[in-house]
Amino acid sequence: MNYGFWGKLNKPFTVLAPMANVTDWAFRQIIIQTGRPDVFYTEFVSCDGICALGPEKFRGELYFEKNERPIVAQFFTADPEKLKRCVEMAVKMGFDGVDINMGCPDRSIEKQGAGAALIKNPKLARALIKAAKQVAGSLPISVKTRLGYNKIETESWIPHLVEEGIAALVVHGRTRKEMSSVPAHWDEMGKIAEMAKPVGTLVVGNGDIKDMAEARQKASEYKLDGIMIGRGIFNNPWFFNENIKPDSIRPKDKIKLMLQHCDNFSKLWKGEDKTTVKNFDTLKRFFKIYINDWPGAKDLRAQLMDSKSIDEAKALVLGYLKSNS
């Protein structure tokens, strides 16, 4: 088995989940400052998009720096040949691993036969893994998926993936139908760990983890190699840093992060060449993360949600800092 970097991690390891419009370089650099996970992912990127428009159009999504290693590029597609081209590109770009998305419930992605639609098409799912492995060289291949499509299908779906000899399998403990509306079925994770054992695929559990203590408890209870954290980081950007207690974080610490994030965002998405630009509204999700939990935060946040540009948002928080220091 080619484990690549996955084989060198201390267990249980932590992974920041791929999240579209969230886990770009701008945000990952913030998390490096607050306290990093063992592994980073990019947000997912369309192989069909890369093959049609060229990788330059996805410069922002794919950009990373050395201090983010190990970092995995996540792709979605239903076309093994396009996946091959993107894996070759990821090798050249110096990514540490490639992950194939087999869990996204977005209709536009499923329409292409990609994301969660692959749960209904194990033959194609297997062909995608085979294609990726053919060209990956020393780069490890992983898959991120769900427990099933309309119902839990652990026993019939998961073996298709582990039998292909992937280095790691990340399982979001819900079905496609459940989206994110019910608590994750962690009891299925133990079964998956057992299924993966004979092949040696590492199993990473994902879904609803609130803090590091819970991450460790779930890994131990279900004998998992690692835990992936998504929305938990929204509640606490210091999630991975157990030396920082959430109630010791001051409003100005959060505001500082927000200002830094704004600068990172401007740098990444409005580069000199202007090949890739992201709408300012994408940044508003983060205002909710940074500006909360203190008297006055609600009003400031409301003003930020009405702001029209990064400069306006920055001026608002700087003004707030000045009048509250």
50 forms part of the interface with ligand FMN (CB under 6 A): no
Name which of 4 and 230 has its Cβ closer to ligand FMN: 230
105 forms part of the interface with ligand FMN (CB under 6 A): no
Residue type, 56: E
Q: Is 137 exposed, middle or buried (0-12, 13-18, 19+ CB in 10 A)?
A: exposed
Question: With CB under 6 A as the contact rule, which of the stretches 14-22, 123-131, 191-199, 238-246 interacts with ligand FMN?
Answer: 14-22
Min dist. Cβ of residue 168 to ligand FMN (A): 13
**Residues 291 and 72 sit within 8 Å (Cβ to Cβ):** no
Distance (Å, whole) CA 296 – CA 250: 13
Distance (Å, whole) CA 63 – CA 219: 31
Residues 247-306 that bind ligand FMN (CB under 6 A): none
44 forms part of the interface with ligand FMN (CB under 6 A): yes
DSSP 238-294: TTT-TTS-GGG--HHHHHHHHHHHHHHHHHHHS-TT-S----THHHHHHHHHHS-SS
Q: Which residue has the tokens 């030396």?
A: 243
For residue 35, give the 3-state DSSP assignment: coil
Name which of 153 and 178 has its Cβ closer to ligand FMN: 178
Q: Which residue is nearest to ligand FMN (CB)?
A: 230
176 forms part of the interface with ligand FMN (CB under 6 A): no
Question: With CB under 6 A as the contact rule, which of the stretches 50-58, 230-238, 252-260, 302-310 interacts with ligand FMN?
Answer: 230-238
Question: With CB under 6 A as the contact rule, which of the stretches 226-234, 248-256, 266-274, 299-307 interacts with ligand FMN?
Answer: 226-234
Clarify whether 104 is annotated catalytic: yes
Instruction: Out of 47, 51, 86, 104, pick the active-site residue.
Output: 104
102 is annotated as contributing to ligand binding: no
Q: Exactly one of 172, 176, 254, 261 binds ligand FMN (CB under 6 A); which one? A: 172
3-state helix, strand, coil in the chain (%, to 5): 50, 15, 35
Question: Looking only at Cα atoms, what is the longest distance across the chain?
Answer: 62
Question: How does DSSP classify residue 143?
Answer: E
Which residue in 263, 307, 255 sits closest to 26, CA to CA?
263
Min dist. Cβ of residue 146 to ligand FMN (A): 8
178 forms part of the interface with ligand FMN (CB under 6 A): no
Name which of 55 and 251 has its Cβ closer to ligand FMN: 55
46 forms part of the interface with ligand FMN (CB under 6 A): no
Which residue in 88, 97, 92 sits closest to 141, CA to CA?
97
Question: With CB under 6 A as the contact rule, which of the stretches 13-21, 130-138, 290-298, 317-325 interacts with ligand FMN?
Answer: 13-21
Q: Exactly one of 14, 29, 46, 74 binds ligand FMN (CB under 6 A); which one? A: 74
Q: Exactly one of 152, 209, 258, 313 binds ligand FMN (CB under 6 A); which one? A: 209
Handedness of CA 167, 172, 173, 179 (dihedral sign): negative
CA 235-309-272 angle, 5° bins: 105
Q: Residue numbers of the site for ligand FMN (CB under 6 A)?
A: 17-20, 22, 43-44, 74, 101, 103-104, 144, 172, 206-209, 229-232
Binding-site residue ranges for FMN: 18-20, 74, 144, 172, 230-231
